[in-house]
Structure 1
Amino acid sequence: MIKKNTKIPRQSILKKEEETFDYIDSFQSQICSKNLNIKISEILNLFLYNGPKWIGFLLSVRDKIAGLFGLKTSKKKTKNQKPKENISYKTGDQLGIFKIFDKSENEFILGEDDKHLNFKVSLLLEPGNKEINEAKISITTAVTFNNIFGKIYFFPVKPFHRLIVQKTLKRIVKNLENEMPENKKEYKIR
């Protein structure tokens, strides 16, 4: 189940900036497993490279429109990037349309600054109830409007944004659950 909030989780690096944002949403989901050993880099990879295909279509439409107004597009940022395994993502790395602004052991802050608005996305992995091997995954988006065009731009984007984040979080949780040892089927060759 996914829960939505309009506040930044208190464990997030973004919490100290909360008052400076014009828009905030945060979607959370829980995951339980006997063998819960999730790394925040796994969540980042799933976020970046395992979204629904229709998101790519929406992003290409957004790029065409944004390009007309001189805004940053994913085409300018992405060059055949593929999931990275066993890599240490660093602050300042550019991953498609996202720049890594900050990171901790259990969180990545991604985003971009543009002339109309600045946005940050927190991918946060929080430990839950240890007795039942539970963890909480949050995707939080925080936006600052730099001018009236930022507000105008974000108005039609907001409903799609919410839908995309919810679907992405569901896919992340589903992928993580499918990768857990107790959910993998073992086949014996006879």
Structure 2
Amino acid sequence: MKTNITKVNIPTTSVLLNNNTIYDYSDSYQTYYLDKNSNISSTQIGKAFFASAPKWSEKLFELRNRIVSIFGLKISEKNKDRQQQLENFTYEPGSSLGLFNVYSKTENEVILGEDDKHLNFRISLLKENAQTQNKKLTITTVVKYNNWFGKLYFLPVKPFHKLIVPKMLKGVVNSLNNENTELSN
């Protein structure tokens, strides 16, 4: 199954729209994944999300951490055993992995993000249950600037963000499709 990624509006079913916040930036990317038995959970989607970052994006994140530490912004600690951290991460509200805190989790959506002095961001991983085996998956990112530095910070980040998120969504779907194929064999 070919993975077609489409840019869409924030889904109306997303928790992100429940708080009436006006975001300074938002984007949503959507595609479909195979769920033959309708048993893929929001936790499984979260695990696939963290495992799907392109290798080159990890280098960019390391560079980001070196630069922003000078300004006193939050950075994630160097992962000695990332696989172990991924396996132990609960994806429950209050838990965290690197810079990503879990703010909300429902049967269909996980909200990740961080609040820092320059900006706050949230990422929604939303699955929409359809009556077919092909389910819709949307990754939405929203950003709220806390000051002028947040706006300045996000300026060079935005182009990379627009490259990374669709690649991650494709990686999530490939992971879910592979997992689903293995379960049905």
Q: Same fold (TM over 0.5)?
A: yes
Indicate the residue corresponding to 2:133 in structure 1.
133
Supply the AA of the counterpart residue of 2:98. G
Indicate the residue corresponding to 2:18 in structure 1.
16
Using the size of structure 2 for normalisation, the TM-score is: 0.88
In angstroms, what is the RMSD of aligned CA positions? 2.1
Runs of at least 5 residues in structure 1 that lack an aligned partner in the other structure: none
Q: CA contact under 8 A between 1:110 and 1:121: conserved in structure 2?
A: yes
C-alpha spacing 1:14/1:183, structure 2 compared with 1 (3 Å): same
Supply the AA of the counterpart residue of 2:171. R
Using the size of structure 1 for normalisation, the TM-score is: 0.86
Q: SS state of the match for residue 165, structure 1?
A: helix
Q: Distance in 2 between matches of 1:98 and 1:33?
A: 26
Please state how far the C-alpha of 1:8 moved relative to its aligned partner.
1.8
Q: CA contact under 8 A between 1:36 and 1:180: conserved in structure 2?
A: no
Q: CA contact under 8 A between 1:35 and 1:181: conserved in structure 2?
A: no
Query: What pairs with 1:57-136 in structure 2 (closer than 5 Å)?
Result: 57-75=59-77, 80-81=81-82, 82-84=85-87, 88-128=90-130, 130=131, 132-136=132-136
Indicate the residue corresponding to 1:151 in structure 2.
151
Structure showing greater Rg:
1
Q: How many residues align?
A: 180
Q: CA contact under 8 A between 1:63 and 1:74: conserved in structure 2?
A: yes
Q: CA contact under 8 A between 1:36 and 1:134: conserved in structure 2?
A: no
Q: Could you list the per-position Cα deviations for residues 139-159 of structure 1 after superposition, in whole angstroms to 9, with x for gaps in the alignment?
A: 100000001111110011001
Matched, 1:52 2:57: no
Please state how far the C-alpha of 1:183 moved relative to its aligned partner.
8.9
Q: CA contact under 8 A between 2:46 and 2:91: conserved in structure 1?
A: no
Report sequence identity in percent: 46
Q: Distance in 1 between matches of 2:137 and 2:20?
A: 19
Q: SS state of the match for residue 18, structure 2?
A: helix
